[in-house]
Amino acid sequence: MYKASPKRRAILEKSRSVREKEAKQTSNFFAKHLKRIYPITLQRSTSSSFSLSSISLSLSQNSTDSSATDSTSTLEQRISLALGLISSPRRRETFVPKAIPQQQEKIVYQEFESDEPKRCNWITKKSDEVYVTFHDQQWGVPVYDDNLLFEYLAMSGMLMDYNWTEILKRKELFREAFCEFDPNLVAKMGEKEITEIASNKAIMLQESRVRCIVDNAKCITKVVKEFGSFSSYMWGFMDYKPIINRFKYSRNVPLRSPKAEIISKDMIKRGFRFVGPVIVHSFMQAAGLTIDHLVDCFRHGDCVSLAERPWRHI
């Protein structure tokens, strides 16, 4: 049989003495201060009762003889445990935290796990990849190249019949049909070329739309002779600085603007077709003449940085 050493027995006796002393202090404390809460017998109902001695016993059961360090438990900890024992079951239940439902927990985690950048809210999870790429890389970037400006003007006019996704999916076909949107080459197209483009089922452009693009190319060649470039003509309306908007909500983004109305009137006077204020404003948004990315979109800051650089015609 195991026999404890004299030193071990001394430690155990000292530990037992300390516990008995603290148990006595606890009993005296409850006898003095808890009469206002429960009777001296601590009876809460006819079916259950607690005595001060039983509370002291419950407190002392948490300690063992294996370690002398357990005797350092503070009186406050014992009081806290005792209050938990004598509190009503209903009161204890109110402090039990409710677990988050598993489905709701998954949704919360998915929101934090998403690495997608913040975009304008008209870009959704259902948006086509070609449209998202256009938004992330081109839409709102200031453009100074005549051919690209002509391309954006032509595609903006197509918005009367199609949306951006449908137009962008056929962009390469448009470029091939309209000679990379070189105004000088498109302006020279005759009836044969116009008919071929209009009859191409893959392009899906009405003959009136094709003629409009050809006529606008002719107008651009005239503008180039007067202003040096189509870019100089367009950016001259902007004083060579894009309009930087800071819209927070998509409902604040206008379909037309006073500047678009001014440009539209001048273009119509010069013979341009299908260049109403709404189409011109869409063209301005795409070509970066106006920055209409929402302020919390990750592209807003990028486009603003490009817009604030010194203007230089390319």
- Which residues belong to the annotated binding site? 120, 135, 293, 297
How far from 126 is each of 121, 122, 132, 137, 165, CA to CA, in Å? Answer: 12, 10, 10, 19, 12
- Which residues belong to the annotated binding site for Zn(2+)? 120, 135, 293, 297
Q: State the Cα–Cα distance between residues 214 and 111, nearest whole angstrom.
A: 49
Three-state SS at 204: coil
Q: Are 245 and 290 in contact (CB under 8 A)?
A: yes
Pairing status of strand 43-45 against strand 48-49:
antiparallel
Q: What are phi and psi of 41, to 5 degrees?
A: -85, -5
First to last CA, the chain: 99
All residues at 6 or more sequence positions from 75 whose CB lies less than 8 Å from its CB, including other chains = 22, 25, 26, 29
Among 180, 163, 160, CA closest to 275: 160
Q: Report the sign of the C-alpha dihedral through residues 277, 280, 286, 290, in that order.
A: negative
What region, left, alpha or beta, does residue 239 occupy, with left being phi > 0 and alpha being psi -120 to 50 degrees?
Answer: left
**The two three-digit tokens of residue 177, written as one number:** 């049909």
